Structure 1
C-alpha cells in the first residue's frame, strides 16, 4: 500500500514539474488590437495552458478594462514541441475562435481561425516574465 501511495505522489509531482517547465507559462505582452494591448498570464489549467488578462494598456497608459481576469487563451493542449491547439477569445468582438499557438524562446505566435482554419488572424506576443 505504501508503494502505491508513493508512486501516486511521485506521479503527481512529475506531472506538476513538467507543466511548470512548459515554455508557454509566464507573462506575455500582446500585440495591440483595436488600439489596446494587455499583459496575459499563461498558466497550467489541468493538462492544458490557459491565459488570463492581467493588465491592459492603450495610448494613454494603463487602464482598467472590464475584461481583466478573463481568459483570452482557453484550453491550449501542448504537443511537447512548442505547438498548442485550443481556443482564443477576442474581446473586441466577444467571439471565440479555433486557436493555435507556437512558442519559441521569448516569442509566442497566436492565431484565431474560422472556417476550419482557412481564415486566421495572427498576433505575435513577447515574454515579460
Structure 2
C-alpha cells in the first residue's frame, strides 16, 4: 500500500512539473496578428505566426505564475524595450518601456 501511495505522489509531481505556464500558447495581438509564446531555454519566446512580420521573434520573457519580465520588440519600428507581461484569464497585458518611465501597453487575447 505504501508503494502505491509513493508511486501516486511521484506521478502527481511529474504532472505538476510539466504543467504549462499561463503565458504559453497562441495569442491575438493588438494589431490582429497571431503570436505564439513557447518555452525556449529558461525563458519564453514570443514569435509572430501571422501578419507582415510572421516568423520574427519579438520577445523573450522569464517568470512564473502569470507574471513575466524581459524584452519586447516593436516589429514596425524594430526597436526593443524592457517589457513585462501579466496573464489574467484569457488576457495578456504586454507592456514595453523606455527608461522605465515611457511605457506603452497592449492587451492580447488567448486564441
Q: TM-score range by the shorter chain?
A: 0.7 to 0.9
1:16, distance to aligned residue in structure 2 (A): 6.6
How far apart, in 2, do the equivalents of 1:97 and 1:91 lie? 11
Stretches of structure 1 lacking an aligned partner (at least 5 in a row): 1-12, 57-64
After TM superposition, the score normalised by the length of structure 2 is 0.81
Stretches of structure 2 lacking an aligned partner (at least 5 in a row): 1-13
* Aligned counterpart, 1:109: 93
Task: Report the RMSD for the aligned CA atoms in angstroms.
Answer: 1.9
* Aligned counterpart, 2:42: 47
How far apart, in 2, do the equivalents of 1:113 and 1:46 lie? 24
Structure 1 runs (4+) deviating above 4 angstroms are: 13-16
**Equivalenced residues, count:** 99
After TM superposition, the score normalised by the length of structure 1 is 0.70
How far apart, in 1, do the equivalents of 2:28 and 2:98 lie? 24
